[in-house]
Amino acid sequence: MTLQNSIKALAALGALYGATVAAVPTANCCSLLEAALPGRILSIGSANYATVNHDFWSSTTVLSPGCIFSPTSSQEVARAVKLFTDNQCKFAVRGGGHSAVPGAANTNDGVLIVTEGLNERTVTNENSVWIGAGNTWGPVYDFLGPSHKAVVAGRYYPVGTGLLLGAGLSFFGNELGLAIDNVRTYEVVLYNGTIVHASATSHPNLHRALKGGGDNYGVITRYELMTNNIPDWIWGGMVYYNQSQLSQVEDVVYDYHVDKAVNDVKTHVLPQYGFNGTTNETINFSPIFYNGALNSTPAALQPWLDAQPYRNTMRQAQMVDLAREFNAGFEYGLVQVQRTFTIYADKEFFHDVWYQFQVWLQEYRHIPGFYGLHCNMPVTPNAVQEGVRNGGNVLGLEGAGSRTLSILYFGLTFNNLSDTDKVFPAFAKFVESMIRLAEQRGVRHPYIMWSYAGHDQRVIESYGQENNDFLRRVKQDYDPAGTFTNLVSGGFKLPARGY
Ligand SMILES: Cc1cc2nc3c(=O)[nH]c(=O)nc-3n(C[C@H](O)[C@H](O)[C@H](O)COP(=O)(O)OP(=O)(O)OC[C@H]3O[C@@H](n4cnc5c(N)ncnc54)[C@H](O)[C@@H]3O)c2cc1C
Ligand SMILES: *[C@@H]1O[C@H](CO)[C@@H](O)[C@H](O)[C@H]1NC(C)=O
Ligand SMILES: *[C@@H]1O[C@H](CO)[C@@H](O)[C@H](O)[C@H]1NC(C)=O
Ligand SMILES: *[C@@H]1O[C@H](CO)[C@@H](O)[C@H](O)[C@H]1NC(C)=O
Ligand SMILES: *[C@@H]1O[C@H](CO)[C@@H](O)[C@H](O)[C@H]1NC(C)=O
Ligand SMILES: *[C@@H]1O[C@H](CO)[C@@H](O)[C@H](O)[C@H]1NC(C)=O
When divided into structural domains, the chain yields a total of 3
Percent pLDDT > 90 in the chain is 92
Q: With respect to residue 493, please indicate whether it lies within any of the assigned structural domains.
A: no
Q: Are residues 43 and 161 in the same domain?
A: no
Provide the β-strand partners of residue 225: 129, 183
What's the gap in Å between 280 CA and the centre of ligand 4? 6
Residue 177: what are its φ and ψ, rounded to 5°?
90, -165
Q: Are residues 252 and 363 in the same domain?
A: yes
* Cα torsion through 20, 21, 25, 30, rounded to 10: -100
Q: Are residues 87 and 158 in the same domain?
A: no
Q: With respect to residue 496, please indicate whether it lies within any of the assigned structural domains.
A: no
What's the gap in Å between 348 CA and the centre of ligand 1? 31
Note down the domain range covering 419: 236-460
Q: How far apart, in whole angstroms, are the C-alpha atoms of residue 140 and residue 28?
A: 37
415 Cβ closer than 6 Å to some ligand 5 atom: yes
pLDDT in tens, 256-288: 999 999 999 999 999 999 999 999 999 999 999
Q: With respect to residue 494, please indicate whether it lies within any of the assigned structural domains.
A: no
Q: Are residues 357 and 475 in the same domain?
A: no
pLDDT in tens, 49-76: 999 999 999 999 999 999 999 999 999 9
The whole-number average pLDDT for the span 160-167 is: 97
Q: Are residues 220 and 187 in the same domain?
A: yes
More reliable by pLDDT, 118 or 3: 118
How distant, in Å, are the alpha carbons of 144, 261, 289, 291, 313 from that of 233? 13, 21, 11, 8, 15
311 Cβ closer than 6 Å to some ligand 2 atom: no
310 Cβ closer than 6 Å to some ligand 2 atom: yes
Which atom belonging to ligand 5 lies closest to the Cα atom of 2? 4
What's the gap in Å between 66 CA and the centre of ligand 6? 28
Last residue of a domain, one of 72, 89, 114: 114
Q: Are residues 128 and 245 in the same domain?
A: no
Q: How far apart, in whole angstroms, are the C-alpha atoms of residue 78 and residue 83?
A: 9
DSSP for 11-52?
HHHHHTSSPP--PPPHHHHHHHHHHHSTT-EEETTSHHHHHH
Which atom belonging to ligand 2 lies closest to the Cα atom of 243? 14
Q: Are residues 317 and 455 in the same domain?
A: yes
205 Cβ closer than 6 Å to some ligand 6 atom: no
CATH code assigned at 294: 3.40.462.20
Q: Is the pLDDT of residue 328 over 60?
A: yes
Q: Are residues 314 and 413 in the same domain?
A: yes
What's the pLDDT at 109?
Answer: 86
Tell me what the pLDDT averaged over the chain comes to: 94
Q: Are residues 292 and 396 in the same domain?
A: yes
What's the pLDDT at 87?
Answer: 96
Q: Are residues 314 and 361 in the same domain?
A: yes
- Per-residue pLDDT band for 21 (boundaries 50, 70, 90) equals low
Q: With respect to residue 358, please indicate whether it lies within any of the assigned structural domains.
A: yes
Q: Are residues 427 and 299 in the same domain?
A: yes
Q: Are residues 245 and 102 in the same domain?
A: no
What's the pLDDT at 23?
Answer: 67
The whole-number average pLDDT for the span 105-128 is: 95
What's the gap in Å between 238 CA and the centre of ligand 2? 16
Q: With respect to residue 497, please indicate whether it lies within any of the assigned structural domains.
A: no
What's the gap in Å between 176 CA and the centre of ligand 6? 34
What's the pLDDT at 22?
Answer: 60
CATH code assigned at 50: 3.30.43.10
Q: With respect to residue 264, please indicate whether it lies within any of the assigned structural domains.
A: yes
CATH code assigned at 202: 3.30.465.10
242 Cβ closer than 6 Å to some ligand 2 atom: yes
The whole-number average pLDDT for the span 26-45 is: 95
Q: With respect to residue 492, please indicate whether it lies within any of the assigned structural domains.
A: no
Q: How far apart, in whole angstroms, are the C-alpha atoms of residue 190 and residue 184?
A: 18
Residue 54: what are its φ and ψ, rounded to 5°?
-100, 5
Which atom belonging to ligand 5 lies closest to the Cα atom of 417? 1
